[in-house]
Structure 1
């Protein structure tokens, strides 16, 4: 009698177990959507940063293409006054929404080599990597040297461009980038170089370049084709140093 009950319970439980297994497989297939649920090599930080950068670049290109379509349609309809159109073109060059070409410099910044990091385990890790203030120092020096246009990682720098560190990457226009960092400027090469040489911050950075082999390289460029800024120009908020922040319906920001 006891044997009969055990067999009956097993026969009743087997279909239930199979049903649960089927539900689990179906749930996994739905969540996976045809992809592998197992972790892959792309889950590393570097892989995630590169994937996000590619995705953002694709969206920026789509935004730029749609903006060009709108401008073409407006031009065809003749909705823009010729005088206003000329002013718009001049302003777009100043803002950075127009491609430019010319001679200039490219400054490349790199973290310390891996072997140097291994040979200096007691050294503060922050001394062995490039930070946002290093990039900002180069950009500020190039502006001070009379640069007509600047790009970072081949992305145009405008008045609202922000540079900040997030982990071991630098975020530019909301997109993370890993080193090496390339800052390119169009302008008088001698004046640009002199501005870099006169920068006290860059002079201090050179100490780390010598001691820990941080990468700092300046290259003369006879001709640079710099793309236009393709992101949004919407400004969320801005404050003027020394003044209390007050709500405003049309916030403004100062230039560089």
Structure 2
């Protein structure tokens, strides 16, 4: 700031008490706005460096706000793209899963169709399975029960030989399947004595010993009674007191033999035309 022009100061000429007071007032009036005031006013104004710093600070703040705003706008599309990509990925996996499920169902239908169209077992094959004890069977037949003589001593006790003879007699009489004490008989079945008891396929059989056979009821009963096995039982009953009964029964049910009883370890089919 420029200083206002200073008024010429009056010379201090002594003119008595009144004039001296008047001269003092004039000096006070002239010096009321002197250089000291303008110096203080000049010091209160910001310096050029301060103005520059303030301008730079405002500029930096504005730049920062602009960057944050732009970055926020740029990040939003990226987030949307990632979200859409995730949705597309899930949808694609669902389509793959649906496709595989459809393929699985088609294969199941195909397998079922092939199973239905497969060659059915021949009559000979079915009979072989029946004779081997490989399948459970049911049908009309007869049931024979064996009991030891009262007192269970000496020759009056049912033996493994008695059971073997009855089974052989049933086979000879035309039985198609036989079960002894819940054990289906096969080509490898064993009927043996074990102490004072009897085992079939190594399973202990309690009395009364129940022997079931499937076949023609009338034919089985008639032929068994006149067979050597039937005559043997009748003789044993008269001589040793054992008891036995035979009866016809409808819907006799026999289980399949255990798989281990169906394994052939030594026998093999005979070659046709071989010596």
* TM-score bin, normalised by smaller chain: 0.5 to 0.7
Contact 1:103-1:187 within 8 A present in 2 as well: yes
Inter-partner Cα distance in structure 1 for 2:220 and 2:148? 23
Inter-partner Cα distance in structure 2 for 1:202 and 1:253? 34
1:169, distance to aligned residue in structure 2 (A)? 1.2
Question: Which one is further off, 145-154 or 205-214?
Answer: 205-214
* Larger RCO (alpha carbons 8 Å, 6+ apart): 1
Equivalent residue of 2:121, what SS?
helix
Contact 1:96-1:157 within 8 A present in 2 as well: yes
Report the number of matched residues.
157
* Cα distance, 1:235–1:214 mapped onto 2, change above 3 Å: same
Inter-partner Cα distance in structure 1 for 2:144 and 2:239? 19
1:101, distance to aligned residue in structure 2 (A)? 1.3
Contact 1:134-1:202 within 8 A present in 2 as well: no
1:179, distance to aligned residue in structure 2 (A)? 2.1
Query: Which residue does 1:86 correspond to in 2?
Result: 121
1:253, distance to aligned residue in structure 2 (A)? 8.8
* Cα distance, 1:236–1:172 mapped onto 2, change above 3 Å: farther
Contact 2:168-2:229 within 8 A present in 1 as well: no
For the pair 1:162 / 2:190, whether they are aligned, the reply is: yes
> TM-score w.r.t. structure 1 length?
0.53
Per-residue CA shift, 1:116-137, capped at 9, x if unaligned? 74xxxxxxx1x11111221111
Inter-partner Cα distance in structure 2 for 1:99 and 1:171? 21
Question: Which one is further off, 205-214 or 174-183?
Answer: 205-214
Equivalent residue of 2:174, what SS?
coil
Which protein is bigger by CA-based radius of gyration?
Answer: 2
Structure 2: runs of 5+ lacking an equivalent: 1-110, 271-275
Query: Which residue does 1:175 correspond to in 2?
Result: 203
CA RMSD of aligned residues (A): 3.0
Contact 1:105-1:220 within 8 A present in 2 as well: yes
Contact 2:179-2:213 within 8 A present in 1 as well: yes
Equivalent residue of 1:147, what SS?
coil
Alignment of 1:125-140 (within 5 A): 125=154, 127-140=155-168
